[in-house]
Amino acid sequence: MVKKSPIRSKHIPQRTCVGCHQVLPKRTLTRIVRTVTGLQIDNTGKLPGRGAYIHDQKPCWQSAIKGKLATALRTELTEQDRELLQNYMENIPVSTPIEDQTVNR
């Protein structure tokens, strides 16, 4: 008899939101990258450099801008960096918290 191999599910990379510490699929989060010229918002997820992830919830962005992001990126946020993040945060639509996508550790 031939044994059937078990059906494997596709691996989905998980990342932790800097603002609320929820573990979510990588594609649902926005990556912020520390570069030589300052911070950049990395929509592709492929820019080189130290990165941190935030999901699109205004409270998470506010918490991250206050200091958690600087700690995660091991840098100090300049005024220009804060403006970039504030402008991006203003364009985030108001939505309900993501509870069904949370992954238990």
10-residue averages of pLDDT along the chain (105 residues): 79 95 94 93 92 93 93 93 93 63 48
Q: Distance between CA atoms of 56 and 54, rounded to whole angstroms?
A: 7
Domain residue extents for the chain: 14-90
Q: Distance between CA atoms of 94 and 50, rounded to whole angstroms?
A: 28
Per-residue pLDDT of 14-28, as tens digits, reads 999 999 999 999 999
The confidence score (pLDDT) of residue 6 equals 80
The confidence score (pLDDT) of residue 75 equals 93
The confidence score (pLDDT) of residue 1 equals 67
Sorted by sequence, the CB contacts under 8 Å of residue 91 that are 6+ apart come out as none
Q: In the CATH scheme, what architecture does the domain 14-90 have? A: 2-Layer Sandwich (3.30)
The confidence score (pLDDT) of residue 100 equals 47
pTM exceeds 0.85 for this model: no
Residues 43, 34, 22, 11, CA torsion sign: positive
The confidence score (pLDDT) of residue 105 equals 46
29: its two tokens: 């989060």
